Amino acid sequence: MDALNGWWDDFFWSSVVVVEVFVVALILTVLFGLIGAGAKLSGNRAALSIANGYTIVFRGTPEILVLLLIYFGSAITLTAIAQVFDPEIKFLDLPPFWAGSFAIALIVGSYATETFRGAFLGVDPGQVEAARALGLSNFKTFIYVRIPAMWRLALPPFGNHMLSLIKDTALISIIGLEETLFIAAQATATTGKPFTMFIMVGAIYLSLSTIITLSVVVLEKYANRHLEVAR
């Protein structure tokens, strides 16, 4: 444990990076999931096949491959575009933070697509008809009726998606994001205590996933609060 002295603040700030990536990726995941589910339920054939392609590709290929493709792919595209304007530029990339958050959100978003699709289908059609009868617009029906009824159904599987998301953040160290694994590798180089350092990373992730699991329990309680009375 002595080896950790002098590294505590590095581990703390790198955990903050993990949390930041998680929050950005979570927002994007919900966005991609809703767009994907919308496309699958739209009845539009083109939108349906694009959404199907999306879920098949991102659920069937390794996360690390998607991450590297997006990071290096965006880098050569950006470099090529930049060279049109200024031939002096040798290399331009998306910051690993944004490329990484985007990549893991794309992956987990493909799982969220299926979850949201199922949850939207699970909404009682009577409630939607009632909203129509009350004269609510399609948009208002979506925001005030479908979403609140849907997220109650989607919450338990979505909790698992959040756990995948936090665990996938570890991969972003591969493209150079200075998060906990990156710090552990640095700390190992100076202290020669790899086990201590990597166990520390494991402990950080275990605490973060515990916090997520507990938050989901609280959220589920909140989402089902109107059912409490009936019990």
Residues forming contacts to another protein in the complex (CB under 8 A) are: 56-57, 59-66, 68-69, 72-73, 75-77, 80, 163, 167-171, 174, 181, 184, 188, 192-199, 201-202, 205-206, 209-210
Q: Residue 92 CB, nearest distance to another protein (Å)? A: 13
Q: Residue 72 CB, nearest distance to another protein (Å)? A: 4
Q: Residue 227 CB, nearest distance to another protein (Å)? A: 23
Smaller CB separation from another protein, 130 or 217: 217
Smaller CB separation from another protein, 45 or 90: 90
E strand or H helix at 5: none
Q: Residue 87 CB, nearest distance to another protein (Å)? A: 14
CA pair distance 125, 62, nearest whole angstrom: 37
CA pair distance 107, 54, nearest whole angstrom: 9
Smaller CB separation from another protein, 75 or 123: 75
Contact in structure between 14 and 179 (CB atoms under 8 Å): yes
Q: Residue 55 CB, nearest distance to another protein (Å)? A: 12
Neighbours of 223 (CB within 10 A): 17
CA pair distance 94, 70, nearest whole angstrom: 9
Dihedral sign (CA 63, 65, 70, 75): positive
CA pair distance 171, 25, nearest whole angstrom: 13
Smaller CB separation from another protein, 114 or 145: 114
Smaller CB separation from another protein, 39 or 170: 170
